[in-house]
Copies of this chain bind each other. A is one copy, B any other.
Amino acid sequence: MTIEGKEDRRGRRIRLGMVGGGRDAFIGGVHRMASRLDDHFELVAGCFSSTAEKSLASGRDLGLADDRIYGDFNAMARREARLKEGIEAVAIVTPNHIHLTAAKPFLERGIHVICDKPLTSTLPDARKLVGLAEKSEALFVLTHNYTGYPMIRHARAMVAAGDIGTVRLVQVEYPQDWLTVETEATGHKQAEWRTDPARSGAGGSTGDIGTHAFNLASFVSGLTLKELAADLDSFVPGRRVDDNAHVLLRFEGGAKGMLWCSQVAPGHENGLRLRVYGTAGGLEWAQEDPNYLWHSPFGEPRRRLTRAGVGAGPESGRMSRIPAGHPEGYLEGFANIYSEAAAAIRARQNGEATPPEVVFPTVRDGLAGVAFVDACVRSSRRNGAWVTLAI
């Protein structure tokens, strides 16, 4: 064990803008904290609301200059692209159905995009965004933030190194309980838009948290989903999107899996949990206790690996700030995505390739997520028939 900290930023901060995330929003504040923690970014502009006054008020709260606060993201993209000290990257933190239109003007101007998930609310939109991103000179980073947890990085490295042999099974779940009752009828803003198919997309729990579970399972196992069979429910009367999903998974190469996501499971806050089993061992990780990774080599006792502790390798180490036993959490994992983005942006600005150790979810991962939701909905409508992702 050592008592050592992570290296701080070297050099100037990247100028960041934001679309969405005004007063009363949730994820915008998370993005701001995440962008600040390692000091790679400085928020200098934003379009925090489509209502100009609201945007102005929110921007002033954050200490921005009035002339960098916008009521229209297209105007923001146009002007910032022309400014000498305009933004170099933008965080898109609006509801899902806005992601495509909000990202477009920035991508077209070469401004790097850091976008919240799921990628879009519809599959056609997702495809369009892939097209735009891949045509753009700018980077596109999707904040599937759980991939930023250090012990998830370590788990991924272990699987890739063959430490658990050939993967046979992937069990992933993400239960919550906040929609056990009809929260959306109580004026709860987050519940409202997240259960509105027009804003959230055809999937409810599948889009909001199922995509996280699916992404994490893919990220750690390194496997590609071949087909799925889903049974979706809306348990709460009147709810317009699924609030529970039971999904069977078949991966390329023969591995199998199960995915459960739910917003009606009392006792669970953010119970994302991943288990991967191979011919030579098993791994288990839970988001609510993210500093631990349980490793069970077949035929040996279960081991508790800790973030930055003995047995945690370099993939975990470069995502860590403080010594083992001092827990890092959700914001640190989220910040790791921002730090990866910063590293990639700086490499790009220096005309270099992204360093091989720098890893972040891409627009293609986002497409896979939206296709996952689409496949769940299609399968469930066909009474749980096996379907493939329409990627």
Tell me whether A178 and B306 are in contact (CB under 8 A).
no
Closest to A229 in B: B384
Tell me whether B329 and A328 are in contact (CB under 8 A).
yes
With a cutoff of 8 Å between Cβ atoms, the chain B residues found around residue A317 in the complex are: none
Bound CA–CA A177/B331 (angstroms): 27
With a cutoff of 8 Å between Cβ atoms, the chain B residues found around residue A124 in the complex are: none
With a cutoff of 8 Å between Cβ atoms, the chain B residues found around residue A244 in the complex are: 168-169, 256
Partner of A304, one of B231, B246, B301, B327: B301
Interface locus among A84-92, A101-109, A263-271? A263-271
Per assembly, the copies of the chain total 4
With a cutoff of 8 Å between Cβ atoms, the chain B residues found around residue A1 in the complex are: 176-178, 269
Interface locus among A27-35, A69-77, A130-138, A355-363? A27-35
Bound CA–CA A295/B266 (angstroms): 9
Partner of A248, one of B38, B188, B246: B246
Residue A5 lies at the interface, judged by CB distance under 8 Å to chain B: yes
Closest to A296 in B: B267
A250 to chain B, nearest CB (A): 7
Bound CA–CA A280/B322 (angstroms): 25
Residue A196 lies at the interface, judged by CB distance under 8 Å to chain B: no
Residues of A that sit less than 8 Å from B by CB: 1-6, 8-13, 25-30, 32-33, 36-39, 61-63, 164, 168-169, 171, 173, 176-178, 180-181, 188, 190, 229, 231, 233, 235, 244, 246, 248, 250, 256-258, 260, 262, 264-271, 275, 277-282, 284, 287-291, 294-306, 309-311, 321-332, 383-384, 386
